[in-house]
Amino acid sequence: MRDWIYPHFDYQPKRPLFLCVLSNTDTGKIPGVSAAGASPDLTDYTPSADAELIELHKIVTIPAIPESPEGATTPAVVTKAALSLSEIPALFVTSGLRRKPAIPYVDINGSPGRDIRSATAVPDAAEIMERSALLGKKLANFSDCIFIGESIAGGTTTAMAVMQALGYPGKVSSSLLNHPMAKKQEIVDVALDRCAASFGSMRSDPLGALREVGDPMIPAALGLIKGLAGTKVVLSGGTQMAAVLCAADALGIDGDVSIATTRYIVEDRNATFVETVEGLGRSWYMADPGLERSKIPALSCYASGSAKEGVGAGGAVLAASLRGITQQEIVEGSDRVLMTVELPKG
Amino acid sequence: MRDWIYPHFDYQPKRPLFLCVLSNTDTGKIPGVSAAGASPDLTDYTPSADAELIELHKIVTIPAIPESPEGATTPAVVTKAALSLSEIPALFVTSGLRRKPAIPYVDINGSPGRDIRSATAVPDAAEIMERSALLGKKLANFSDCIFIGESIAGGTTTAMAVMQALGYPGKVSSSLLNHPMAKKQEIVDVALDRCAASFGSMRSDPLGALREVGDPMIPAALGLIKGLAGTKVVLSGGTQMAAVLCAADALGIDGDVSIATTRYIVEDRNATFVETVEGLGRSWYMADPGLERSKIPALSCYASGSAKEGVGAGGAVLAASLRGITQQEIVEGSDRVLMTVELPKG
């Protein structure tokens, strides 16, 4: 049996920092593609609600905790438990986000991503990456190990589009139990057609691919990696972050960058997380939050493949484990967070 | 003769961080009160231009470098020189700012401050302070010595109003050579009348004073101090930051907080920086940027009392000196910054 953290993470961070990029993409509002929000219109608010949950243990901007149409609660609950137990500070970064959270956040600005089927998705991708690199360079002064998660509803579809435009094989995962893969591929096909692209045709113009069929999270994460050159970076996420690694590869952005995700992503047979990451020559880490032991269905359903990952949950659990937090503490902590989170009255 | 840094700063920061709060107040648009911008309408842009100058060595949001009606350039030039020479990272925090800078910044949100003569100036002062404390608490993980400056046009008038509402004697300084003190007192009198207050009448309700006659910078700075309890904090500014110390005193916010400013403030005979700070039992430090030796009139005029301080210049120079930067390097560096800053074309 594998350890709950696998393989061993061979570094003890002195001043770890958990970053999380919050973005919107209208691609996420296409009915049926995203589970990050009970309805497509609510997905604009999901990232801010995730951030408020983690920073305030309270949700301010929407009346309910984000959950998927299948009833899985947001993985921010697990991230919150991990960061609180380990006392690792979080910093939220907004890039193309419509509804700003009621906490202090670093604003990279940028417009929300458009529907990749009908428009150039992120016209300001280069500017986002540039500003984000500035932030990364700054943060390198203060932390020796930075975990970077994301909250963007619909992000696996844009991740898939970017991977295909850049010519990386591999399948993305889904936060839904019944992965709407055909629907996603249809969206990607229309998007690539729109900009006269096809599998691999934008390999030599990665920025063009991000601009045409990406989302505002991807250039923000890439800029952070670029600015953090010399600092240990652990991308915290599943196939979306794997797509960020693909884009970094295409752009020639290097550095000490690995990726950490949950067991639910590693074991997703419909996706190719491990193959994609290993194909790039990068290290991956898996954290098993042990949610099959949760007393709450909205969390225990993760173990059967709902939600799976997001808001950097896998990386946050890995980071917490490096400070001695146990799997059982993560399970109990997640239950406690979900049972005690404060919601707006009314 | 005094040393150029006086008195000796008895601590060697390991990971210093320069924070700067950017805010707007409509009080600053009353004709004749502020020098931070060539015309009242441009003062909305001044803080962002200052931040861009420091972070990018380039101004993006307005066509020219901020300067006073008297022709003094922004003190951000000195701050930029000090931080670049010493390689101390800066982080900008926006609180009630209309025009956001083209750099990554931490957004505390909050509405721009209203004209204190006609309206409750900062209705969300408590929320700003709360969010700002959250940020301070976070930053305490990463730095052992934090310098906090400000850029808010018209801030000395609101500082004066807050001091008087709280019952602290003392006179604020001005960025203008001919200090419009009578004009400022007239504004403060109207403002206090509006909320049925008088000298000292709000002593037991300091938050009320910030809300009624303050500006969005003050609660942001106070929140940072509160959240940073346990970390060394050096407020970087003149009489506006002295007013922040007064408000901290009234609110019972304690901590290892001192204040650093330029020689031009310490020697301003129309103001009472030293008396105010010593009256609170706080330590002050003075940095002499030596600008009488500048080759550029827009900087050498500081030595005869124009501009004087702002954007944390005094604190930034002090911080740089702790890394071995000399006064001559500050003078030459400031000249170089001003001569080479990139401006928008057209």
ipTM value: 0.88
Q: What is the pLDDT of residue A157?
A: 95
* pLDDT tens string A313-326: 999 999 999 999 99
- Residues of chain A found within 8 Å of residue B138, distances taken between Cβ atoms: 89-91, 104
Position A346 in a domain: no
**Mean local confidence (pLDDT), A110-124:** 97
Cβ distance A107 to B103 less than 8 Å, yes or no, reads no
Is B147 within the bounds of a domain?
Answer: yes
Residue spans of alpha helices (H) in chain A? 46-56, 76-86, 125-139, 155-166, 181-194, 206-213, 217-227, 239-251, 263-266, 273-279, 297-300, 313-321, 327-340
Distance CA B253, CA B227 (A): 10
What's the pLDDT band for A1 if we cut at 50, 70, 90? low
Q: Which of B91, B93, B102 sits opposite A138 (nearest CB)?
A: B91
Per-residue pLDDT of B17-58, as tens digits, reads 999 999 999 999 998 887 666 677 788 999 999 999 999 999
Instruction: Specify the pLDDT at position B39.
Output: 75
Percent of chain A with pLDDT over 90: 87
pLDDT digits 0-9 by tens, B295-332 = 999 999 999 999 999 999 999 999 999 999 999 999 99
Domain membership flag for residue B302? yes
For residues B246-258, give the mean pLDDT. 97
- Of A21, A43, A45, the closest CA to residue A32 belongs to A43
Please answer yes or no on whether B106 and A102 come within 8 Å at the CB atom.
Answer: no
The predicted pLDDT at position A7 comes to 97
CA-based nearest residue to B254, from B284, B233, B278, B276: B233
Question: Residue A342: inside a domain, yes or no?
Answer: no
Q: What is the pLDDT of residue A110?
A: 93
Q: Which residues of B touch A56 (CB under 8 A)?
A: 134
Asked whether the predicted pLDDT for residue A94 surpasses 80, the reply is yes
- The pLDDT of residue A41 is 77
Q: Count Cβ atoms within 10 A of the Cβ of residue A202 and give its class: 0-12 exposed, 13-18 middle, 19 or more buried.
A: buried
Smallest Cβ–Cβ distance between B134 and the set A100, A104, A141 belongs to A104
* Higher per-residue pLDDT: B174 or A195: A195
**Residue B282 placed within a domain:** yes
Contact across the interface for A106 and B107, Cβ inside 8 Å: yes
Q: Using the predicted structure, report yes or no on whether residue B1 has a pLDDT greater than 70.
A: no
Residue burial A229-246, b: 16+ Cβ < 10 Å; e: rest: bebbbbbbbbbbbbbbbb
Report the CATH number at residue A156.
3.40.50.10210
| pLDDT given at position A69 | 82
Under 8 Å between Cβ of B218 and B158? yes
Tens digit of each residue's pLDDT (9 = 90 or more) over B61-92: 888 898 888 899 999 999 999 999 999 999 99
Total number of residues shown for chain B: 346
Residue B145 belongs to what H/E stretch?
strand B145-151
* Count of the separate structural domains present in chain A: 1
pLDDT at B345: 76
- Would you put residue B15 in left (φ > 0), alpha (ψ -120 to 50) or beta? beta
Range of the domain at A139: 5-336
At B118, the pLDDT band (50, 70, 90 cuts) reads: very high
pLDDT digits (tens, 9 = 90+) for B188-247: 999 999 999 999 999 999 999 999 999 999 999 999 999 999 999 999 999 999 999 999
In this prediction, residue B346 carries a pLDDT of 58
